[in-house]
Structure 1
């Protein structure tokens, strides 16, 4: 039974220019003079270097350890000596340096000891961890760690496993040649993914402009005795986008706020399945990939290239023409000009296009938007690019987000059809980067606020602990004094004061005050009044007033008879 196909909204049909690079089989690129291997080559954390300058490494040896679950390990692409570990310029639109491991090859290309993995006898979690340690990521361009995508949903059963062989971007043919020449290994890798996810069915989508690849994959599926469905999908850019291909093959639309696994679907590129099978069946981590060399060249072709190979050395294999003035990594729709000619090949490098003014003439100058709506009609995500353009240009990023800015996949369809030649995608990238930068600043400010508030809380806590400690010490001292005064009170016929409970702060405070008053009385009782016989009437009255106040406050007992007798003459004289 034929698989029913669905349509996604929008899309375009640009000039594909794929025939130039499919006339020859995949070739092995020679060993470069040096390898610059970035530690951060996938979505997620930056792997930690586990080698140092001067270390000798073997082909396939771990040089960057995965940092967290959403991360993937990095390995040496050949044997040689580590000559540097530090920042280098890498192929990224920002042109910013990141930490890399630079290896001087020894020419021997010696492998580590590597063995096939009997994954069927292992727990699924152990297999996923092995793929993470092998550095397997999405080789279709997204470079998301594959082991994380191979974790099925706990609540939604897996209905469809979609294998992406569409390769819709113009000029790129690496997946096409891979399917033609290594279809059996791709099908074996699909079987690995099937065993880990347990879907109800497997759908392999390939655009109908690749008949040789469709035939090769169909034959490989049949030879392996599998029930996977190889489906030719209409050639329409960007049918190779994950959400678009899922829509075409299953009819399911993945909302922006959800993942495809929430709908029981998962999607992988054919090159990812091939790399995963090489890791399991041969013990080979991801140290190379297929790269299309095309564009303004004499000999366009697909090459298997070691990760870390300088692009300027690699491009010489294709014979760039004299008027080549740059290199585009990726396709002309979503790719970018590399910031320097010697940046290395990374896991995301699927195509290198030699750029020239003849092949890619400068765009006409940008003109005002005429609100024609062509961009909205071409958008495969049903956005309103003209609204996003206005708000992004006005730097009103809040309104841009209200129009679902982050749903944009930057496919370039809107820029391609715009009659005013507005580089819409560039505006959207600018708005996204500004929002990300502001969000980063906000998080840093919130972190600083939290640290300040915690410092205040810690200071207050330390003050309270210190006060409590002092109170306990005072209570203990009061109890000790009361215990010492108990024998004296007993000898005078008085009752000893009871010690307060240790866990009653109010009783402790009262006991402390009572002990202080008792000490004051004892001290005053020990001191007999002096010179009271010769005091003047005014002094006698002053003494009597002070003693009355003390008696009223409870700080002094009633005056004894000798003292009263000493003051009595003055009292009679005043009367």
Structure 2
């Protein structure tokens, strides 16, 4: 059933839609010759290798794991031989060990693969960990950690907002695997005894809204029609941020420093819940994912299904390459929160949901000018922060002032920089401010 939005979150901006891939069905990428798989693709402790160089591995095999609770196992995405294990420098500045696997082209799966039966919360959590799933397209929070929340939960919120320009990977998931999404929601809700499920999706995705509502109505259990609601939300960035989405769908406010469980909510990405159900159905953990390749500088825009660890350059080649190389920018993710890449041999990871290719004309930032104190940055901030005061505290290296202005609460959505008429590098200043504030603790 369709439901109305509860509340409109404060601030945010209207970003250009730019989603030509919305009508493009997902196609598989030809198997890459090599995959590069970092040993940390999640928030929490990095994994330790369980295999050595020259060993043979199969698709879905656990090749790295950790005993830490906040972590997630790493699986081989192709079958073949471990060429080597050596550090790589990721675009976020982290240096982490990574496997390089030579693909034998056989896609040999692990022998023990099969459907997974769960009958209680403990088995649900274990299955989530075994799947290797983390937040798809987000910060990479391990799924099993979310499911293990000790607070009582009454609402499952599914994030189908996908509010950044260009990205349509979740939209295609909603259209191509609609019934699996609903089944996955019911699985989680039944085992965690959650009464209500809400799918929050922006109103610029009418086909997905209709498909999801029809999938709910197809469920044979009439109670499902009351338990799961599809909620159409006005298009507004950053609607997909968990605190914004929880407020829009339930009217509840998550306090600074608190998690959604503190207000009785569990929030999952729409692709995460779908892929979890896929694991339960098949026993195949997270080894591949859908990504959107788009932007004004790619020859052929596509939605692709790619093995995790595929080098960026292989994907760009399959899409016809870049229209122009000089001054171009390649971003993992969307143009608002994505991270620009310096090395196209770096791989797709569990969190990657898009590659955005921008021309020099689009990517070049205008010259930074003095602040005119217009207040647009403050009005646009969904976290009620004061970017101008945080910038001033940063310039003065004033850690106490940075703390008092809650720089740590910034989610780096980029709204402040997007609306600034002086082109201030406000997100950069927020990041630098966080470093100074943490260093003073």
Q: Report the TM range for the smaller structure's normalisation.
A: over 0.9
Q: Distance in 2 between matches of 1:354 and 1:165?
A: 23
Aligned to 2:394: 392
Aligned to 2:8: 7
Aligned to 1:314: 315
Q: Distance in 2 between matches of 1:67 and 1:378?
A: 42
Q: How much has 1:339 moved relative to structure 2?
A: 2.3
- Equivalent residue in structure 2 for 1:99, among 97, 100, 124: 97
Aligned to 1:262: 262
Q: Distance in 2 between matches of 1:86 and 1:2?
A: 50
Aligned to 2:107: 109
Change (3 A) 1:260 1:137: same
Aligned to 2:353: 350
Q: Distance in 2 between matches of 1:412 and 1:368?
A: 18
Aligned to 1:47: 47
Aligned to 1:370: 372
* Partner deviation per Cα, 1:141-172 (whole Å, 9 max, x = no partner): 12100111112434xx3221100100011111
Q: Distance in 1 between matches of 2:439 and 2:290?
A: 34
> Secondary structure in 1 aligned to 2:365?
coil
* Partner deviation per Cα, 1:394-436 (whole Å, 9 max, x = no partner): 2212211110111111000000111111010001111213444
Q: How much has 1:437 moved relative to structure 2?
A: 4.8
Q: CA contact under 8 A between 2:3 and 2:230: conserved in structure 1?
A: no
User: Which deviates more from structure 2 when the two are superposed, residues 410-419 or residues 362-371?
Assistant: 362-371
Summarize the alignment of residues 395-544 of structure 1 with structure 2, pairs less than 5 Å apart.
Answer: 395-437=397-439, 439=441
Q: CA contact under 8 A between 1:163 and 1:267: conserved in structure 2?
A: yes
Higher helix content, 1 or 2 = 1
Q: How much has 1:364 moved relative to structure 2?
A: 1.8
Task: Structure 2: give runs of 5+ residues left out of the alignment.
Answer: none
Q: CA contact under 8 A between 1:59 and 1:76: conserved in structure 2?
A: yes
Aligned to 1:506: none
Q: Distance in 1 between matches of 2:333 and 2:398?
A: 31
Q: Distance in 2 between matches of 1:257 and 1:293?
A: 34
Q: How much has 1:367 moved relative to structure 2?
A: 1.4
> Secondary structure in 1 aligned to 2:67?
coil
> Secondary structure in 1 aligned to 2:37?
strand
Q: Distance in 2 between matches of 1:38 and 1:437?
A: 27
Q: Distance in 1 between matches of 2:102 and 2:3?
A: 53
Q: CA contact under 8 A between 1:140 and 1:271: conserved in structure 2?
A: no
- Equivalent residue in structure 1 for 2:334, among 331, 336, 340: 331
- Equivalent residue in structure 2 for 1:190, among 166, 185, 190: 185
Task: Structure 1: give runs of 5+ residues left out of the alignment.
Answer: 440-575
Summarize the alignment of residues 13-92 of structure 1 with structure 2, pairs less than 5 Å apart.
Answer: 13-18=14-19, 20-90=20-90, 92=91
Q: CA contact under 8 A between 1:287 and 1:307: conserved in structure 2?
A: yes
Q: How much has 1:317 moved relative to structure 2?
A: 1.8
Give 1 or 2 for the bigger CA radius of gyration.
1
Q: Distance in 2 between matches of 1:16 and 1:170?
A: 5
* Partner deviation per Cα, 1:255-277 (whole Å, 9 max, x = no partner): 10322111111110001001111
Number of aligned positions between the proteins: 431
Higher strand content, 1 or 2 = 2
Q: Does 1:131 align with 2:134?
A: no
Q: CA contact under 8 A between 2:28 and 2:304: conserved in structure 1?
A: yes
Tell me the TM-score normalized by structure 1.
Answer: 0.73
Q: CA contact under 8 A between 1:254 and 1:260: conserved in structure 2?
A: yes
Q: How much has 1:372 moved relative to structure 2?
A: 1.4
Aligned to 2:144: 147
Aligned to 1:512: none
Moved over 3 A (4+): 1-4, 434-439
Q: How much has 1:224 moved relative to structure 2?
A: 2.4
